[in-house]
Amino acid sequence: MTTPTVTGRGRLIALRAGWLFDGTGSALIPNPLVVIDGGTIVAVGSGMVAPQGADIIDLGGAALLPGLVDTHVHLAFDASADPVGALADRDDEQARQAMIRAGQTALRGGVTTVRDLGDRDYLSLGLRGQPGLPTIVAAGPPVTTPGGHCHYLGGVAEPTEAGVRAAVGERVERGVDVIKIMASGGNLTPGTHQHLPQFTPEVLRAAVDEAHRHGLQVTAHAHAPGAIADAVAAGADGLEHVSFWTEDSVDAPAELIQLIADRRTVVGATVGMVPVPGLMPPPEVRARLPLIVANTRRLHEAGAQIVAGTDAGIAPIKPHDVLRQAPDMLREIGFGQADALRAITSVAAGVIGLGHRKGRIAPGFDADILAVDGDPVAEPGALHRIRAVWARGAAVPDAGSRPGEAPAVSPRPAVR
Ligand SMILES: [Zn+2]
């Protein structure tokens, strides 16, 4: 296989395949040809002739789709049984190396863009733009309260209006792409409470206002109904999890569901799980999960904008390439399979501010492309039969293999 160079002007690459899902439509386009120049797609057509002198890669009957976009990952968490402890044991350089491995895992699984919603010490910012890694949109350490959810990541702010404005200001200075704020407690942090807000409505509003003043979006980790309501009222651009978690169950008031839909506050649904023998979500999650799915379905029916944010890295069932499992749960929420594929490509790209160059196979867009064996719209399982991945025009080594697995040996691209 030819690997295009990304420095200087190399030869054009022309990918020929059986079908194409372009990230926006519902129907597959037959006999596509996608022409790549360096890191960019320059032409897409059905039954087109390859430009003279281009290197042609013939993928036979494979389907091409845009590289996947995960709106919520944690590169710093290593998807082990104790990701928090593992990170605590690493110094910054060791953590950085683990984050690189996490990024490579994502890429091999077709996830070519990730939004990292919580690292330690702003480590993810230094990985942006590195070859061999996904495109990274980075929040740095989430803004939280003293002792609050994920306080150990270093993002503690004084829980006052001045305190959170200063915290946002520090992140602006560091050059983050988005602000993540912990509006409620969370499962990964003993001593915090998922069913309770962490900030007062006024303080949350100040954080959002300060971020918007600097042109940054805010997405709020919000489990508790009160935290969800406060984040929406504060004008947060997005919500993560949105479980409506109460002390003993969940409670999603109809008017709050309608408000989220009406305000166009993006719902980052925590979907996608890789079955691991002997491993299940904790009992308090398991008991609530059917109710959370039902409430997310109500959000979908109310017209809310829903994307998949897997929370990759936080557990063994959430490896960094888990996003291709997300459509299974999105269909439970009421998505059709084509809608689900849009949610993890073009819609996700738009939500994280990269709708102009990610999530579509179209001229002018980044050459982030996934080739799978089969029709991913008619047969969801095809998404797991990865034949090749390109990230910004570069072929990803060992595409389709998961850590600890041998690289896929089943059908490789055939040269015809
Ligand atoms: Zn998270």
Rounded alpha-carbon distances, angstroms, from residue 188 to 15, 191, 282: 43, 10, 11
Is residue 272 a contact partner of residue 329, using CB atoms and an 8 Å limit? yes
Q: For residue 82, which phi and psi values (nearest 5 degrees)? A: -135, 75
Per-residue confidence of the chain (416 residues) as pLDDT tens digits? 444 444 445 789 999 999 999 999 888 999 999 999 999 999 999 999 999 999 999 999 999 999 999 999 999 999 999 999 999 999 999 999 999 999 999 999 999 999 999 999 999 999 999 999 999 999 999 999 999 999 999 999 999 999 999 999 999 999 999 999 999 999 878 888 999 999 999 999 999 999 999 999 999 999 999 999 999 999 999 999 999 999 999 999 999 999 999 999 999 999 999 989 888 878 998 899 999 999 999 999 999 999 999 999 999 999 999 999 999 999 999 999 999 999 999 999 999 999 999 999 999 999 999 999 999 999 999 999 999 999 999 999 999 987 655 444 443 443 33
CA of 270 to the centre of ligand 1 (A): 9
CA of 162 to the centre of ligand 1 (A): 25
What is the spatial distance between Cα 415 and Cα 56, in angstroms, rounded to a whole number?
A: 8
Query: How would you classify the pairing of strands 111-116 and 68-73?
Result: parallel
CA of 117 to the centre of ligand 1 (A): 6
CA of 155 to the centre of ligand 1 (A): 14
CA of 295 to the centre of ligand 1 (A): 20
Question: Length of the chain, please?
Answer: 416
CA of 118 to the centre of ligand 1 (A): 7
Output the pLDDT for position 414.
37
What is the spatial distance between Cα 239 and Cα 306, in angstroms, rounded to a whole number?
A: 10
CA of 142 to the centre of ligand 1 (A): 9
Output the pLDDT for position 1.
41
Name the β-bridge partners of 66: 369
CA of 320 to the centre of ligand 1 (A): 12
Query: What string of H, E and C letters represents the secondary structure of the chain?
Result: CCCCCCCCCCCCEEEECCEECCCCCCCCEECEEEEEECCEEEEEEECCCCCCCCEEEECCCCEEEECEEEEEECCCCCCCCCHHHHHHCCCHHHHHHHHHHHHHHHHHCCEEEEEECCCCCCHHHHHCCCCCCCEEEECCCCEECCCCCCHHHCCECCCCHHHHHHHHHHHHHHCCCEEEEECECCCCCCCCCCCCECCCHHHHHHHHHHHHHCCCEEEEEECCHHHHHHHHHHCCCEEEECCCECCCCECCCHHHHHHHHHHCCEEEECCCCCCECCECCCHHHHHHHHHHHHHHHHHHHCCCCEEECCCECCCCCCCCCHHHHHHHHHHHHCCCHHHHHHHCCHHHHHHCCCCCCCCCCCCCCECCEEEECCCCCCCHHHHHCEEEEEECCEECCCCCCCCCCCCCCCCCCCCC
What is the spatial distance between Cα 101 and Cα 71, in angstroms, rounded to a whole number?
A: 19
Q: For residue 64, which phi and psi values (nearest 5 degrees)? A: -100, 140
CA of 339 to the centre of ligand 1 (A): 24
CA of 14 to the centre of ligand 1 (A): 38
CA of 380 to the centre of ligand 1 (A): 26
Output the pLDDT for position 412.
41
What is the spatial distance between Cα 392 and Cα 12, in angstroms, rounded to a whole number?
A: 13
CA of 73 to the centre of ligand 1 (A): 6
CA of 206 to the centre of ligand 1 (A): 22
CA of 377 to the centre of ligand 1 (A): 28
CA of 313 to the centre of ligand 1 (A): 9
CA of 227 to the centre of ligand 1 (A): 16
CA of 249 to the centre of ligand 1 (A): 21
What is the spatial distance between Cα 264 and Cα 270, in angstroms, rounded to a whole number?
A: 18
Output the pLDDT for position 165.
98
CA of 32 to the centre of ligand 1 (A): 37
CA of 208 to the centre of ligand 1 (A): 19
CA of 311 to the centre of ligand 1 (A): 5
CA of 308 to the centre of ligand 1 (A): 12
CA of 273 to the centre of ligand 1 (A): 14
What is the spatial distance between Cα 209 and Cα 77, in angstroms, rounded to a whole number?
A: 29
What is the spatial distance between Cα 74 and Cα 314, in angstroms, rounded to a whole number?
A: 7
Say how far residue 166 (Cα) sits from the centre of its chain. Answer: 27
CA of 74 to the centre of ligand 1 (A): 6
Question: Amino acid letter at 136?
Answer: I
CA of 330 to the centre of ligand 1 (A): 18
CA atoms within 13 A on the CB side of 331: 14
